[in-house]
């Protein structure tokens, strides 16, 4: 029988396979340090490491039998470390600001995944956010979508007409395939 930390790690990796940008991380791994009950997620941004610490590791059972948990997030806390590398232009103050925003994004993403049933956690699914945080997230998503669309269009404008048509058709094909698989 797997534990809550093992099952959450498995579900986080499945979430990132489904949508690589869900947590903006590469892979979830369980700490190999003896006595440390922690999942590490390395951000795409090299100097950021996201942690999920567990107060207790409990056997996981989807039915929640006695002595087990059906909530993979049971006894867990989310934290984030941002360590600016020597070649990074980010200073300590910027790293702290980045960490605060990134942590909010991670919390929203984990909550959304739990609500969609991709993570087995009532705790995450019922996580509450302030109205201001929800509005700020919506504005940020809208801005990011607008910027991505503009960037995509700028890239397409650099291509010759034949390449642009081939690229656009391939993108539509990939999008249709992902939609058929139930992915974003």
39: left (phi over 0), alpha (psi -120 to 50) or beta: beta
Q: What is the pLDDT of residue 42?
A: 78
Q: What is the rounded distance in angstroms from the CA atom of residue 93 to the CA atom of residue 132? A: 23
* From 4-13, 116-125, 142-151, the region with the lowest mean pLDDT: 142-151
Q: Where are the domains of the chain?
A: 4-128, 133-180
Q: pLDDT band at residue 10, thresholds of 50, 70 and 90?
A: very high
pLDDT of 86: 61
Asked if residue 126 lies in contact with residue 35, where contact means CB atoms within 8 angstroms, the answer is no
**Chain-centre distance of CA 92, in angstroms?**
23
- As a whole number, mean pLDDT of residues 62-84 equals 82
Tell me the average pLDDT across 106-129. Answer: 89
Whether the predicted pLDDT of 121 surpasses 80: yes
For the ranges 95-104, 121-130, 143-152, the lowest mean pLDDT is seen at 95-104
Note the pLDDT tens digit of each residue in 34-59: 988 989 887 776 666 778 888 888 99
Identify the pLDDT of residue 180: 81
Q: CB atoms < 10 A from the CB of 91, how many?
A: 10
């Amino acid at each position: 029988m797997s534990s809550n930390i093992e099952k959450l790690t498995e579900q986080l990796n499945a979430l990132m396979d489904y949508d690589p940008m869900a947590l903006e991380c590469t892979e979830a791994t369980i700490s190999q340090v003896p006595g440390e009950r922690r999942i590490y997620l390395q951000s795409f941004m090299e100097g950021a490491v996201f942690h999920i610490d567990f107060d207790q590791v409990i056997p996981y059972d989807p039915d929640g039998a006695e002595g087990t948990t059906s909530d993979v997030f049971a006894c867990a806390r989310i934290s984030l470390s941002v360590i600016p590398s020597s070649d990074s232009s980010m200073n300590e103050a910027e790293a702290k600001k980045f960490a605060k925003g990134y942590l909010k994004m991670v919390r929203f993403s984990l909550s959304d995944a739990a609500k969609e049933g991709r993570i087995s956690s009532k705790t995450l699914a019922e996580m509450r956010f302030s109205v201001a945080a929800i509005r700020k997230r919506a504005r940020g998503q809208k801005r990011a979508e607008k910027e991505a669309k503009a960037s995509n269009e700028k890239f397409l404008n650099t291509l010759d007409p034949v390449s642009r048509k081939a690229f656009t058709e391939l993108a539509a094909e990939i999008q249709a395939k992902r939609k058929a698989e139930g992915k974003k």
